[in-house]
Amino acid sequence: MATAKSNVAARIMISPAVLLLLAWMLIPLSMTLYFSFLSYNLLSPGMERWIGFLNYEYFLTDPAFFSALTNTLILVLGVLIVTTIGGTLLALLLDQPIWGQGIVRILVIAPFFVMPTVSALVWKNMFMNPVNGLFAYVAKSVGLPPFDFLAQAPMLSITGMVAWQWLPFATLILLTALQSLDREQLEAAEMDGAGPFSRFFHIILPHMARAITVVILIQTIFLLSTFAAILVTTNGGPGYASTNITYLVYSQSLLQFDVGGGSAGGVVAVIIANIVAIFLMRMIGKNLEA
């Protein structure tokens, strides 16, 4: 039974978190929204003026926006395909009885704990470099010409690096889901003569469907904001070949000092992320009730 006193205490104790988060969200977000309607460049202070939707018009009709949108899609979809399929296979593999399971698990999960800048620079220099990289060495030893990954296929190369970082996350979550599967059901199906494929598609996959959806939604939200991997490898180039929306907004606001245009881009990024977030929140909400 909650007493009146503890009720008051409960309210007081929750307020700092709520108020701080509210301020953290509302103040900058409304500033972004306000700036997005201004002509506002940091190089010409004091010249700010209201220009309505012009920033949005420029941002959305800029060819750079189109390539950024495409690149964002390539990155998100590419990583999702690799991590969900790879993660499912890895989860199935790690769920088998094997010797040294704990160690293999650590090896597989390790990339998630590598900071993004380290991961990107190691891949860029020690593996993908067309002269000194390990891939170039392998190509040479089988008689192929070396391939300059980040110059010739920047977006795919970055997708590969980011997928390597997120594969452990998908694996870990899918493994957790897999381990909650009722073993008796599987054994019963096996008794009834269901082969491994039929067991996978009729029992395992439906059981994991929810976890796969969660992996997709959460990764999408984080992947939309991929930044470090692009900054330290290609700086968004060559041209706009590896610029995603996050990087485009960064370069517009902090490299070109165009606060108005960058803010409009920021608002667009928020809208895109929100579309995904709505679906994710629904799933979380359902689980909170259960």
Candidates 84, 88, 157, 233; binder of another protein (CB under 8 A) is 233
216 binds another protein (CB under 8 A): no
Nearer to another protein, 1 or 43 (CB): 1
What kind and span of H or E run contains 4? helix 4-35
Q: Does 181 bind another protein (CB under 8 A)?
A: no
Single residue of 48, 70, 105, 148 touching another protein by CB under 8 A? 105
Please provide the DSSP assignment of 207-256 as one string: HHHHHHHHHHHHHHHHHHT--HHHHTTTTT-STTTT--HHHHHHIIIIIS
255 in contact with another protein (CB under 8 A): no
Residues 13-32 that bind another protein (CB under 8 A): 13-14, 16-18, 20-21, 24-25, 27-29, 31-32
**Cα-based torsion angle of the residue sequence 43, 44, 50, 56 in order, rounded to the nearest 10 degrees:** -30
Q: What's CA 187's distance to the chain center, in Å?
A: 37
Q: Which is nearer to another protein, 30 or 152 (CB)?
A: 30
Binding of residue 85 to another protein (CB under 8 A):
no
Residue 159 Cβ vs another protein, minimum distance, rounded to whole Å: 16
Interaction mask 43-82, another protein, x per CB under 8 A? ----------------------------------------
Query: Which amino acid, residue 173?
Result: I
Cis geometry, peptide bond prior to residue 238 (ω within 30 degrees of 0): yes
List the one residue from 85, 103, 188, 255 that touches another protein (CB under 8 A): 103
Closer by beta carbon to another protein, 124 or else 240: 124
Q: Coil, helix or strand for 258?
A: strand
Q: Whole-number minimum distance, CB 141 to another protein, in Å? A: 8
Residues 6+ apart with CB under 8 A from 251: 236, 243
The number of residues making up the chain comes to 290
Write the CA distances from 224 to 20, 77, 144, integer angstroms.
Answer: 25, 10, 35
State which of residues 56, 59, 164, 166 lies at the interface with another protein (CB under 8 A).
164
